[in-house]
Structure 1
């Protein structure tokens, strides 16, 4: 038997390092050729790393959240034959699990078929799974369930990424001897002193870096305008009633996208990227529309390419496809990069006003707030109208306030007279 080291491959596009997001295997696992070993992240795209050979896992090259340079050791396998490196005793103990284990717990041998469950002490004398001061990592749902069951998370082994405690871990704890404690009366008003340290890894780290860079480099200014979308919503309802069964249902976003496409013809300085290092603004004839999308893992910006060439129904289908790809984690790098202007919408949670952060290196972002019905004066009478604010941000280095206001007013005119969206 020999040892085979798999190094972090060059995944192209000038990427020098990636972030290790999740291991698909653990020491002792047997892997087949082409089996996925790990997920890594570059920018906001997740890439799966397969194994070029079959073998048994000896060592992992880091914990989730670690940054690995191209060419760094990713994983070491025991393989049939000579392998590609000289054999050495594997250091499994350092990387077998992303959380600290009790000193008394034996280290699993490399040839083990599966991780051995940690032996927990009797409930009468629990021993913490963590060092003093180390906080357990768990989602709010897991913490709520643990509280309802009376389980102290300090004593629960976490099997998820970075030692995160899952619902399955709670089940294992109960089965292996842990017993729920009866909460004391009035515990809903008891003092609480728990803390949770949540490492920023994976997509959350990329989002944090992107937002910090955008706010550090771009002097933002925002412009908010109220739009009367009563006629637009009436037209949308009529189109859905007539064409919904054959062309699909329209939401507000495809119509807003069409309004932006038309308005950008007269305001090309908004559909641009600013290379502030080179001091060059590049304006684009093509409208590659970023669609800020909230997922379970964080904010993604799938790109609706060539929105200028799509009618509202084609635009709606592509928006739905990109949103699903983003939420399921299947969006590719080319679907998450290259936008020239971005729309940000929180739907019914959109509030009255927002201050969206520009998607660097773009120069403009249009934020969509929720639709509310309010009384307004129309022809001397008070009538109910559907109103919505557009809260937009601009890069003040290259976009003047007057130009931004005129651009949003052009979008407003199109949305308040929706027939213009279909006139060429």
Structure 2
């Protein structure tokens, strides 16, 4: 028998280090060739590391949350034959490369203290003779009743609660749950901190009358929904952005603040901010300018579903030039979206509400929606941002312009 050392492989794209998110095997497990050993996270996505050989796990090199350099030891297996390592397994886990960005291994969370019920089951419950007689007559075990009196003494009111079937009062607890910030949650935190620290955010909010847009969407779905698929609001918003960006190319851009270069794009690679079970991801609708409403609708649905299910490929989560973010019915009235660096604009969609507005001197009920958008004031002037949003507003309030273009 021999020892086979598996090192952190080169994932490509110039990535020098990754974060160990989760072990998929444990010491003593038998693994087969190509079996997934661990989940690691790059700047773009979570990747599974497969085993190149079959064997038995004898050592894990680090704890989840450790930032590891490419080429560092990941895991040791006992294999048939000589293996690839003659030295014995290390007594301690291998630490991540001591680079400035590397984090120390995350310790296991301290178990939260558990509040003890009063009175304790092993002790005779505190109660007056009258309460004991009442409980005996009703067939209630006093040990199962939470006492609200001094030292946990069971009072008549506590017995009333138990007899009525109401939920007893829960004793106050000082328990604290410690949750390690690792994996996608850590990556989101780092990106949000970087964005708010580096970019000069400013937000611009405009209300939009989407009554005609929603009526048009309903008509299109009634006519083409069975054959082309259902249209949500997002592909219509994407279409409006694509058209408006033709006159405002400085918004469809990325800013390299190290090189002091602004890159303006002819193609619109639209990021769709999507909330999944693990956190926020931004899959990219590539060449949104080239797709039809229904093409983009299908692509957006697929991208969002893959992101929510954790199936998004790395290439689907990078390269956006402008981002659209929406919380749907939970979108609130106003928000201040954080830029998806190095982009210079993010368009936030708030919920649609019916409310009275004045139209041609008359009070009428209209369907209204706010766009809450943020821009990088280092490279985007306030006037340009306002004019861009006004162009989007005109397109959404006159949906025939979206379909005629």
Q: Does TM, normalized by the shorter one, top 0.5?
A: yes
Q: Which residue of 2 aligns with 1:254?
A: 235
The separation in 2 between residues aligned to 1:215 and 1:67, in whole angstroms, is: 23
Q: Which residue of 1 aligns with 2:295?
A: 314
Q: Which residue of 2 aligns with 1:58?
A: 58
The question of whether the paired residues in 2 share the 8 Å contact of 1:59 and 1:91 is answered with no
The separation in 2 between residues aligned to 1:410 and 1:230, in whole angstroms, is: 17
The aligned runs of 1:20-419 (5 Å cut-off) are 20-88=20-88, 91=91, 134-136=110-112, 182=144, 184=146, 188=169, 190-419=171-400
The question of whether the paired residues in 1 share the 8 Å contact of 2:76 and 2:89 is answered with no
* Residue 99 of structure 1, CA deviation: 7.3
* Residue 92 of structure 1, CA deviation: 8.6
* Residue 335 of structure 1, CA deviation: 0.2
Over the aligned positions, Cα root-mean-square deviation in angstroms equals 2.3
Segments of structure 1 that go 5 or more residues without pairing to the other structure are: 101-129, 138-145, 151-180
* Residue 48 of structure 1, CA deviation: 1.0
The question of whether the paired residues in 2 share the 8 Å contact of 1:272 and 1:284 is answered with yes
* Residue 377 of structure 1, CA deviation: 1.5
TM-score, normalization: structure 1? 0.79
Q: Secondary structure at the match of 1:4?
A: strand
Q: Which residue of 2 aligns with 1:141?
A: none
Q: Which residue of 1 aligns with 2:19?
A: 19
The separation in 2 between residues aligned to 1:182 and 1:412, in whole angstroms, is: 63
1:368-411 CA-to-partner distances (Å, cap 9, x unmatched) read 00000001112222111000000000000111111100000000
The question of whether the paired residues in 2 share the 8 Å contact of 1:44 and 1:336 is answered with yes
The separation in 2 between residues aligned to 1:305 and 1:395, in whole angstroms, is: 22
The separation in 1 between residues aligned to 2:247 and 2:48, in whole angstroms, is: 43
* Residue 329 of structure 1, CA deviation: 1.0
Q: Secondary structure at the match of 1:64?
A: coil
1:76-134 CA-to-partner distances (Å, cap 9, x unmatched) read 00001111111525659999xx976xxxxxxxxxxxxxxxxxxxxxxxxxxxxx8xxx2
The separation in 1 between residues aligned to 2:3 and 2:227, in whole angstroms, is: 59
Distance 1:332 1:182, change over 3 A: farther
Q: Secondary structure at the match of 1:351?
A: coil
1:126-151 CA-to-partner distances (Å, cap 9, x unmatched) read xxxx8xxx2449xxxxxxxx99xx8x
* Residue 63 of structure 1, CA deviation: 1.2
1:7 aligns with 2:12: no
The separation in 1 between residues aligned to 2:404 and 2:145, in whole angstroms, is: 66
Segments of structure 2 that go 5 or more residues without pairing to the other structure are: 96-105, 118-142, 147-157, 159-166
Query: Could you list the runs of 4 or more consecutive aligned residues of structure 1 that deviate by over 4 angstroms after TM superposition?
Result: 89-95, 185-189
The separation in 2 between residues aligned to 1:211 and 1:52, in whole angstroms, is: 36
1:181-206 CA-to-partner distances (Å, cap 9, x unmatched) read 95736764643312122111000000
Distance 1:212 1:92, change over 3 A: closer
**What is the count of residue pairs matched by the alignment?**
351
Q: Secondary structure at the match of 1:222?
A: strand
The separation in 1 between residues aligned to 2:54 and 2:345, in whole angstroms, is: 50
The question of whether the paired residues in 1 share the 8 Å contact of 2:61 and 2:94 is answered with no
The separation in 1 between residues aligned to 2:245 and 2:374, in whole angstroms, is: 15
